[in-house]
Structure 1
Amino acid sequence: MATLLFKLNNVPEDEAAEVRELLEQQGFHTYETSAGFFGLGVAAIWLVNASDKALAMEAIDAYQAERAIRMRAEYEARVARGEEPTLWDNIKASPMRFVGLLILLCFILSIMLLPFWYLI
C-alpha cells in the first residue's frame, strides 16, 4: 500500500525537483499527486512500497539538513553583499502598503482594547 512520503504544499519548486531527483537516484518507486483545481487535495510524493519508508525518510532528512546549511550560507552571502532587503528597504519600496498595514494594526488594537476602555 502506498504511503505519504513528502508533502509539496508551500515547497519551492527547486526543492521539490531535487527531492524527486534524490528519490529517483536512490531507486525508490514513487508517484505524485496534485492539490487539484481548488487546492483541496494533497499535493505530495507518495512511496509505492511502504516498507521502504524508513530509508526514504532518512535520505530526505539528510538532504534537507544539507539544504538548510546551503540555503543559510546563500542567505548570509546575500546579506554580506547587501543584496538582501532590510525592513527600511521594504518600507521604501511600498510605502502605501506599510501605511495601510499600520492603519489596520491600529484598527485591530482599538477593537481589542475597546472593552477595557469602557471599564475605566
Structure 2
Amino acid sequence: MPHHLMNLRHVPDDEADEIRALFDAHDVAYYETPPSRWGISMGGFWVHDDAEAARARALLDDYQRQRFERQRQAYEQRLAGGESVGVWSMLRRRPVRTLAACIGILVIMGLSLLPFVRIG
C-alpha cells in the first residue's frame, strides 16, 4: 500500500530539490506526483513499502528539522541586519506602493461588506 510522505503543495522548488537529492543519496525507492495547476490534487512524495516508509520518514523528519533551523537563522540574521519584512519596513521602503495596497484592501473590504451594512 502506498505511503504518502510529504505534500508538495506550497513547497518551494529548492526544498523539493533538496528532498529529492536526500532520497537519492540514501537510495530511497520513492516516486513523486506533481501538484495540479488548479490545486485539486496535492502531489507529493510516496513509497510503497512499509519499512521504506519508516526509513524515509526518519530521513525527512531529520531534514525538516535541519531546514527549520537554517531558515530560522537566516530570518534572525535578516532581522539583525535591518531587513525585516513587515508593514512598517515596507512603508518606509516603498510608501506609495504600500499605501496604495492598503487603500485597495480597504476598498475591496468596503465593497464586500456593503450589502451586509445596508441590510441593517
- Is TM-score (shorter-chain normalized) higher than 0.5? yes
- Structure 1 residue 8 corresponds to structure 2 residue 44: no
**Residue-by-residue CA offset, 1:70-100 (whole Å, 9 max, x unaligned):** 1010011011112233312334262211111
Cα deviation, residue 49, structure 1: 2.3
Question: After the TM superposition, which residues 70-89 of structure 1 pair with which residues of structure 2 at under 5 Å, given as runs?
Answer: 70-89=70-89
Q: Which residue is 1:17 aligned to?
A: 17
Q: Which residue is 2:107 aligned to?
A: 103
Q: How high is the TM-score relative to the length of structure 2?
A: 0.78
CA–CA separation in structure 2 for the residues paired with 1:104 and 1:21: 44
Alpha-carbon spacing, 1:93–1:2, altered in 2? closer, same or farther (3 Å): farther
Percent identity (aligned):
29
Cα deviation, residue 104, structure 1: 3.4
The size of the alignment, in residue pairs, is: 116
Q: Which residue is 1:54 aligned to?
A: 54
| 3-state secondary structure, aligned to 2:10 | coil
CA–CA separation in structure 2 for the residues paired with 1:99 and 1:76: 31
- Stretches of structure 1 that go unaligned for 5 or more consecutive residues are none
- Stretches of structure 2 that go unaligned for 5 or more consecutive residues are none
Q: What RMSD, in angstroms, separates the aligned Cα atoms of the two structures?
A: 2.3
**Residue-by-residue CA offset, 1:43-72 (whole Å, 9 max, x unaligned):** 111113232111211111111111111101
Q: How high is the TM-score relative to the length of structure 1?
A: 0.78
CA–CA separation in structure 2 for the residues paired with 1:27 and 1:46: 14
The letter of the residue matching 1:102 is L
CA–CA separation in structure 2 for the residues paired with 1:102 and 1:39: 28
CA–CA separation in structure 2 for the residues paired with 1:39 and 1:106: 29
